Amino acid sequence: MQDTGSRDSLVDQRRGARNPFDVMDVPDPNDQDVLEFAAGAKLAGNSDDENAKAWATSSDLNQHDAMEGHWSSRWNGGADPTIPGDAADKWKQGRAEVRTAGDRVYLLFDWDHGARRGLIDAQREGATRLVGKYINLSDPTITRPWIGLIVSNQRIDGRWSGGRLDFRR
């Protein structure tokens, strides 16, 4: 039996990436930092959550029969130095696509009108909890733990170590 590192290496040789988007993979998506963050971070999925009110673009609203597909994304809690006047409390909104592979969920998203991109590689824990890590594909030195809660096929509440990173249709 192969260890995970060997299996991942073989996947990389065959396709170039573990993720279904064929972009740079998230390094160690379930490392110790992720596990420690996930142990303390909570999302309730309540009706008064910041992500409960509809904010997605109208083109994303009609697609809700499955989790995979197109979404809107937004994040806060950090300032993007490439966006003039940005601040940690401002939402950075964009588009996203969700794909699944076994017990993994991959969320590819952008912001700043598509100029910047990120990828989340998360493992399902039960039916609704996601635990993984984010990589900033525009600056791969930036990686952060992330947890998600699948509230419905229209809403995924998300939290990273500095704030929120949510998905909505």
Annotated domain spans of the chain: 26-168
Averaged pLDDT score across all residues of the chain: 89
- At the topology level, CATH places domain 26-168 in Lipocalin (2.40.128)
Rounded CA-CA distance 5/88 in Å is 36
Give the number of other CB atoms < 10 A from CB of residue 100.
14
Q: What pLDDT score does 59 carry?
A: 58
Burial class for 62, CB neighbours closer than 10 Å (0-12, 13-18, 19+): exposed
At residue 3, does pLDDT exceed 50?
no
CB 134 within 8 A of CB 63: no
Which one is predicted more confidently, 14 or 112? 112
At residue 4, does pLDDT exceed 70?
no
